[in-house]
Amino acid sequence: MRFIGVSLLTERLLLRPVREGDEAALVSGLDDPEVARWLESVPSPYTLRDARAWIERCAREREAGFMQDFAITLAERGELVGGISITPSRVEPFAEIGYWIARAHWSNGYGGEALARVVRHASEECSPRFERLRARVDPANTPSRRMLERAGFVERGVSVDNGVERVRYER
C-alpha cells in the first residue's frame, strides 16, 4: 500500500495521519464558514461529532489503502494547523488532492509547503507512484489556485459538478 501510516516532514511541518485526540483542533479549524465555504462535503457548523466521524473514516480508508488524510502540524510545537488528503482513483493511476489551513495560520506559506511535500511523495517516493494528480477549485479561490500553480499544477478547464463550477487542475 502506498500510504499506510506514512508521515512526511518539511522544513516547518510534520504531516502525519489524522488520529484520535485531533477532534478539538479539527473543530477549531473547520467550524469556520470562511474555511468551510471552499470545501466540498465539510458540514457547517462543524461539531465534535463530525470530527470523530471523520477520524474514524480516515482510519478505515487508510487501512483499505484508499484515502490518506494528513494532519498538517507544526513540527516544533505539534499544533494541528490544517489537513491535506490524497484520494487515489479506483480505476486510474490518478489521485485527487484536497487541503485546508485554519484561518489563524493563513498566509504563512504552510499550505504551499504541505502541498509541495505531498506532491513529491505521491509522484516520486511512493510505490507505485501516481502518474497524475488532480485538484478541483472554486474559480474565486485565489490563494488555492496560486498554491496549485506554484506546485506545478496546470489548469485543465472548468467543469460543473452538481451545479457548482470548479476549475480543474492537473500535474
Ligand X SMILES: CC(C)(COP(=O)(O)OP(=O)(O)OC[C@H]1O[C@@H](n2cnc3c(N)ncnc32)[C@H](O)[C@@H]1OP(=O)(O)O)[C@@H](O)C(=O)NCCC(=O)NCCS
Q: Which CB atom, from 1 or from 101, has the smaller least distance to ligand X?
A: 101
Q: Which three cell numbers stand for residue 112?
A: 504551499
Report, in Å, the least distance between residue 100 CB and ligand X: 4
Is 47 in contact with 149 (CB distance < 8 Å)?
no
E-assigned strands of 43-161?
68-74, 80-88, 94-101, 132-137, 154-161
Report, in Å, the least distance between residue 158 CB and ligand X: 14
With cell 518539511, the residue in question is 10
* Pairing of β 154-161 and β 164-170: antiparallel
- H-assigned helices in 39-121: 48-63, 110-120
Report, in Å, the least distance between residue 142 CB and ligand X: 4
Q: Which CB atom, from 109 or from 152, has the smaller least distance to ligand X?
A: 109
Q: Which CB atom, from 126 or from 167, has the smaller least distance to ligand X?
A: 167
Is 154 in contact with 162 (CB distance < 8 Å)?
no
Count of beta carbons in the 10 Å neighbourhood of residue 115: 23
Among 14, 38, 94, 116, binds ligand X (CB under 6 A): 38
Q: Which of residues 67-126 bind ligand X (CB under 6 A)?
A: 99-101, 106-112
Q: Which CB atom, from 16 or from 145, has the smaller least distance to ligand X?
A: 145
Q: By CB under 6 A, is residue 152 in contact with ligand X?
A: no
Report, in Å, the least distance between residue 37 CB and ligand X: 8
Report, in Å, the least distance between residue 128 CB and ligand X: 26
Is the preceding omega at residue 139 within 30 degrees of 0, hence cis? no
Cα 163 from Cα 131, distance rounded (Å) = 29
- Binding stretches for ligand X (CB under 6 A): 35, 38-39, 99-101, 106-112, 137, 141-144, 146-147, 150
